[in-house]
Amino acid sequence: MALPNMENGDRRERLPPRLSEAGDMGLPDGRAGRVRPVDHLATEVMIRCLRDAVLDLDTKGRVRLWSSGAYRLFGYSDAEAMGRPLAELVAVGDAGVGRELAGLLAAAEWPQPERTINSPLRRKDGTLFSGEVTLSSYTASHHRRVMVVVRDHGECRALEVALEASLERERLAMEAYILAIGRMVEARDPYTAGHQQRTARLAKSVALHMGMGAKRAEGIFLGAAVHDIGKIDVPAEILARPTALRSGEREIVQRHPTVGYNIIKDINFPWPVADIVLQHHEHLDGSGYPQGLKGSEITLEARIVVVADVVEAMSSHRPYRPARTMAEALAEINDHRGTYYDPKVVDSCTRLIEQGGNKLEMVAQ
């Protein structure tokens, strides 16, 4: 069987014995008294290839197996580490892994529960680092054995930072994608151009004022930024009509939450963007549309966007009416506080706008 090359050379001839000699070695399979047989050679190859430091120790805590990850982390080659006490190689003073390992090997009962500790550790070149050490005890050929896995905290943190950066890039790309979708519908309807953006900024401010976390508030911003995307299905002449809508036209316009939902429902956003689009004309008392949802059936995100939508729309000019004052917009949401609109959202929005001198641009972030 071909084995992978290791940093310290081809060691095929040195693999067996060690784990491979453990004739009765096995792992519990979850049923009392049953032991699952282990493919020793495959296990040993796997351990040697792992990037984590994986070590196998004998009854006296001496190294029986030293993975390539251990070589990379500690700097000792397989030959240098083999047969030497682990504590002598990597422990710093009597604390940490040295004391933990000594206590484990001296235990009266065997095997012991797995234990994980944070420990100072020493490399071959004398440099110190902090590592997470997991000690697992088992029995092989009637001898006590200890499997040790070591992770470098510094490496873990570097991986976390790289992952966070990757997620942030993904989030920014998704945000740009959503905003582009929002601009698509606004391009057809000059009277509502900017409405979704202003609604989004107000909704996000209200969410933050209500104590929602930044990530959830970001989802509300993005949902509000496309909440009217379904209007792409409404003929431009209806959107731009300077008079009140006729009954048939009203039905066409009222389809837009469902149309919008169907456009984006299959995009796997990490926020309830599709629900915000679908529910942004629902009222607490069930008098809204398209589903007539009531109370908590409406997601909190949508309950915030509903209020921001009304305030922004009323305070902006429309073909069929001039802009209303902010006082009128606030009166509207307060008149329907608890019937159409979530009281906490209304209170938060009202307080924010009043604090901003009744100017939307002073509130919306």
Residues that bind Fe ion (CB under 5 A): 228
Find the shortest distance in angstroms from Cβ 213 to Fe ion: 26
Query: Which lies closer to Fe ion via its Cβ, residue 317 or residue 359?
Result: 317
Find the shortest distance in angstroms from Cβ 264 to Fe ion: 14
Find the shortest distance in angstroms from Cβ 180 to Fe ion: 19
Under 8 Å between Cβ of 153 and 73: no
Query: Which lies closer to Fe ion via its Cβ, residue 149 or residue 200?
Result: 200
Under 8 Å between Cβ of 68 and 7: yes
Measured distance CA(256)–CA(142) in Å, rounded: 72
Taking alpha carbons only, the member of 268, 293, 296 closest to residue 278 is 293
Under 8 Å between Cβ of 301 and 276: yes
Taking alpha carbons only, the member of 156, 158, 164 closest to residue 131 is 156
Residue 96 φ then ψ, to 5°: 65, -130
Closest residue to Fe ion, judged by C-beta, is 228
Find the shortest distance in angstroms from Cβ 257 to Fe ion: 7
Query: Which lies closer to Fe ion via its Cβ, residue 145 or residue 227?
Result: 227
Query: Which lies closer to Fe ion via its Cβ, residue 11 or residue 183?
Result: 183
Measured distance CA(218)–CA(68) in Å, rounded: 43
Find the shortest distance in angstroms from Cβ 295 to Fe ion: 20
Query: Which lies closer to Fe ion via its Cβ, residue 73 or residue 276?
Result: 276
Query: Which lies closer to Fe ion via its Cβ, residue 196 or residue 348?
Result: 196
Reduced to 3 states (helix: H, G, I; strand: E, B; else coil), residue 26 is strand
Cβ neighbours of residue 198 closer than 8 Å, sequence gap 6 or more: 312, 316, 360, 364
Find the shortest distance in angstroms from Cβ 309 to Fe ion: 6
